[in-house]
Structure 1
């Protein structure tokens, strides 16, 4: 039975960046709107609804996890990690906006959080470390990666896997490195344990399946842009989400189904114990997909969703100014319009079209931008990029024939800026080239 839309959960006001689905009736989501939300349904016949909202940070909340119930918290805890490096722990009963515990020590974005059955917390950060917390106190650090850590999983209470922007994966026995897995040629962003096999990892648009002994078992390809997260179904099949606006289900080494989203990026994916897939995306929405017909949304809701994700005209098509009078199909949509002899790029923010720039080149020569010069060399584009509020804009040169990630990293290194900004720069390139790198220009 194929997966189809089961439910749509709205309430966040910015991108949904992380999910945890600990029971069939509870979903936790974290967002760039600085909150974490608890979604709950009282019974299988009920719909999920927002049960609690935690204002977990003044900046992005980029990771979330669930701790099992204790005598002090009969419904368990929500654990959040933010852009400041702060981990907050909130009881689900009673709920209050002040955390029960705050774990300090990371010095940069906490992008990965996991918990263990014994109640331990494992975190990883762009500060290139992972940390194990017992009884809400630091037990030990995992130091050994040469760049930002992106994800961590617990094999058991004392064994862990981490992945990093240094393109490696490491197996740890407590704080000691037992094995390093090499072979990816890009940032390794996510890990998922596969029972009786080993684990899966993703980098760029490739997934690799490994044994814990270090053998590469499978390589899965099919995504057309960056893969952001992996999860595993109760059957052992893999699920992935990425910047090609899709969630993909992998069975026996092949892509069995693609679930497209009306969003630019599907940042995160998680699995309910019953096998339903939960996704969080750049359109501020949490969605649930089920392979069980009894949990599918009403037929008219599924039809409306499938219409929303159906193939649309190429974003490179130039529209007339009258097109700005119509609302966008989804948040983050971009459109080119001809204003006199200038091609403008507009962005739909959910309520209005915002002009974000002008396309290089004339209307009669829209296939390839006219070259711009930077430091004596010609480039297809040279943009002014503001990385930090209040700081002067910097020049970003780019050729549509090159990898956006390579250009982003080169720009940051030349400007002596932290590599943590690489995703921001990549997103800027995609928006301002109208994905010409993907359309063969």
Structure 2
């Protein structure tokens, strides 16, 4: 059976029976994102396979009754709600494209009406049957209140209310079911819960430290919230603070929650755990306590709902639906329980192994240097700095000190205790001047006390660079050391006397000479450029203009300057900056050197094609000009797209040269727009998808991936392709691991382009969403590969860029990547690349995981 362990249960006589597995429903072809139920006990489910499925239960068995496919393609189901009255019933389906499909009596498999007012994923739906209203929440941060009686075919004017206030995605809505006024609650990724009266927010509740994912109403005044911070909070709508907060026994995200009866809560979330909670009275305030934990053999459980018979239904990330019960008569047959036990065994074994490793004070790992065998032992003692273990390992094995940072990173990536090590606070002692030099001391995290000496006239950045290199410090010390040098220099006496010109000479960053003179530059006079000054002295260069760059010069310490170098930007390990990270522009594949051989093949393939799709001589000449001159050589866009449309109808064997010319043409903005808008866009998406999943040769698939890259070159293409990430990413992952280097690079480039697009469109959104899905697909593709030694290095570099860009600055995505062991994957890629820039990017990604 689904394995369980009881946690802090009270007396057995007062406790209800534990939940056990009742049934496993199999039908969906992708992860199930939402489940709901009807008053008759029918189960409704929807997910990534773009369908809503109906399950009817008879005598404890469930069978699929009907399926509602969503159109157009890509309309993944994220939320479901059900409504019925004496006259009719309605099923509401919230989709990835922002639409809500409404099904009802007599509609068959086609919706009665489709509501298209949200601009992003409809993440939650709720029906207030008392008021006859549907409430929808979305990743566009908005909530809409819909009058259900007006959601009828042909009705183009609907008196819906838009609710604005949340600053991040809305994850749950829940009405208070009051007879008088219409009030409802909303939960958001901005960590807040809001109380609304119609479309006006009248109260805000703060108490969670992460995304608030689910709400359950206990009565008209009390509710419970569940969050990614792993806590449940009990609230009274009259109070701003929670009555009580209970931490889950499993430190993982909580995604969904349902109420069973009047005093039992069931939650599910990341890690495949189901937790049962008891709500009870305690000194008039109420309390929540967990009474059961169940383990399932899946990575995530997305949604849970209760049935009329008090069984619970849970949507799983592997496409299955679990039904749990407390009724022994509905318990699953022994063979089903044994099969599930077998799946659990691997996960449990891994957990036990981790627990045994934690019990040891000294952790020993095998290390391989460069391409050698892993025959060197490295010992790490819990509670000590990883750099100390790295330094001892280097000394014991007579290795160069240059290995220090790399070995330190390796320890952190492979030993969990090292990740949690809290470094000593750096202590700075200001020593003033000694022996004609200025100096200060720094106590660094590995325990060394280092002294930095310099002259008043030394360049702070050069001093910091030499100090870091001399002492073998990590690059993170560079900016802080330079800043301390500047501070010490600023404390020095500001009066200067030039031994040749006296007091009235040019003083860098000074307002005047030491003797009260005007401070004129001996070369340029008084109107010279003063770094850091707002204007030149004596009416020289206005607004601090640099004599070389004019007004837009670099000002030390000004973080918003457009010419600010990366080294002087504020340090944020979650946002590493470098030559490769984050991505700043899209990868495109332009016109290559014209090949007469390729053109001859095009002419030959044209002759082989059917007469109805054969190109004319002038059309062939236009394609030749496109191949020779690239997108700039396009003179007649309409004729070009007409030509390409004909050529794209060719058979698979003749298609390669046409698709290659098509991807070049996409670099032309007008051609890109033509294929990205209207009905033509869906035709092209389906054509590209069909070619990627077909049995075509790898060269053709590489050209298709290049075409996808070139779609990103213009705004219209980016808008069109952005909605197809879930469709294409799994295919790109497959082709990323192709044996053909040309396909590896093309697939990695397309993957990177999607990462950059997601960064640009959702950089300020800190909840699980599109960037999370991108990370999941990359991990799913790469996690089973033990070595990347045979793969193209520039392709691996672009994969690293995609990973770093998806994670960049998003705490939630970084945590997810960390939990999915992205560090292990990156370290394996690091072993396969030679370019130091790529290795540095690997280190940046690892540092990102340490920063959360």
TM range (shorter): 0.7 to 0.9
Distance 1:261 1:116 in 2: 33
1:16 pairs with 2:32: yes
Distance change in 2, residues 1:166/1:313 (3 Å): same
1:302 is paired with a residue whose SS is: helix
- Report what 1:325 is aligned to: none
Contact 1:262 1:283 (8 Å CA) reproduced:
no
- Report what 1:212 is aligned to: 237
Distance 1:163 1:185 in 2: 13
- State how many pairs are aligned: 383
Q: 1:260 aligns with which of 291, 295, 299?
A: 295
- Report what 1:402 is aligned to: none
Which shows bigger deviation, 220-229 or 8-17?
220-229
- Report what 1:348 is aligned to: none
Distance 2:311 2:52 in 1: 21
Matches within 5 A, 1:46-85: 46-57=60-71, 58-69=74-85, 71=87, 73=88, 76-85=89-98
1:177 pairs with 2:206: no
| Greater Rg over alpha carbons, structure | 2
Distance 1:430 1:59 in 2: 28
Distance 2:54 2:42 in 1: 7
Contact 1:195 1:236 (8 Å CA) reproduced:
no
- Report what 1:113 is aligned to: 125
Distance 1:342 1:274 in 2: 60
Deviation at 1:313, TM superposition (A): 2.7
Give CA-to-partner distance per residue, 1:135-187, whole Å, 9 cap, x none: 22342121111221111011127111011111111111111112111121211
- Report what 2:42 is aligned to: 26
Distance change in 2, residues 1:317/1:378 (3 Å): farther
1:393 pairs with 2:752: yes
State the TM-score, normalized to the length of structure 2: 0.41
1:48 is paired with a residue whose SS is: strand
Distance change in 2, residues 1:315/1:116 (3 Å): same
Where do 5+ consecutive residues of structure 1 fail to align? 319-337, 344-359, 397-410
1:313 pairs with 2:361: no
Contact 1:384 1:394 (8 Å CA) reproduced:
no
1:367 pairs with 2:414: yes
Give CA-to-partner distance per residue, 1:321-375, whole Å, 9 cap, x none: xxxxxxxxxxxxxxxxx9x9899xxxxxxxxxxxxxxxx98xx977259x99997
Where do 5+ consecutive residues of structure 2 fail to align? 1-16, 152-157, 281-287, 355-367, 375-405, 420-473, 477-565, 587-721, 730-748, 776-812, 826-845
Contact 1:234 1:273 (8 Å CA) reproduced:
no
Distance 1:418 1:180 in 2: 20
1:100 pairs with 2:112: yes
Deviation at 1:417, TM superposition (A): 6.9
Deviation at 1:258, TM superposition (A): 1.2
Give CA-to-partner distance per residue, 1:372-414, whole Å, 9 cap, x none: 9997789899999999567562799xxxxxxxxxxxxxx9489
Distance 2:233 2:572 in 1: 38
Distance 1:391 1:138 in 2: 43
Deviation at 1:271, TM superposition (A): 0.6
Deviation at 1:315, TM superposition (A): 7.7
Which shows bigger deviation, 277-286 or 112-121?
112-121
Contact 2:60 2:330 (8 Å CA) reproduced:
no
Contact 1:231 1:271 (8 Å CA) reproduced:
yes
Matches within 5 A, 1:118-197: 118=130, 119-134=132-147, 135=149, 136=151, 137-156=158-177, 158-195=182-219
Distance 1:415 1:177 in 2: 25
Contact 2:176 2:220 (8 Å CA) reproduced:
no
Distance 2:754 2:119 in 1: 28
Contact 2:195 2:204 (8 Å CA) reproduced:
yes
- Report what 2:275 is aligned to: 248
Distance 1:27 1:415 in 2: 34
Distance change in 2, residues 1:392/1:11 (3 Å): closer
Distance change in 2, residues 1:24/1:217 (3 Å): farther
Greater helix share, structure number: 2
Distance 2:415 2:373 in 1: 14
Contact 1:384 1:395 (8 Å CA) reproduced:
no
Deviation at 1:244, TM superposition (A): 2.1
Distance 1:301 1:395 in 2: 41
- Report what 1:357 is aligned to: none
Distance 1:395 1:383 in 2: 15
Distance 2:314 2:235 in 1: 25
Contact 2:22 2:330 (8 Å CA) reproduced:
yes
Q: Which has the higher contact order (CA 8 A, sep 6+)?
A: 1
Distance change in 2, residues 1:383/1:309 (3 Å): farther
1:232 pairs with 2:254: no
Deviation at 1:95, TM superposition (A): 5.5
Distance 2:251 2:302 in 1: 15
Distance change in 2, residues 1:316/1:383 (3 Å): farther
Q: Kindly report the root-mean-square deviation, in angstroms, between the aligned alpha carbons of the 2 structures.
A: 4.0
Contact 2:94 2:125 (8 Å CA) reproduced:
yes
Deviation at 1:238, TM superposition (A): 1.3
Distance change in 2, residues 1:303/1:104 (3 Å): same
Distance 1:265 1:111 in 2: 17
State the TM-score, normalized to the length of structure 1: 0.75
2:339 is paired with a residue whose SS is: helix
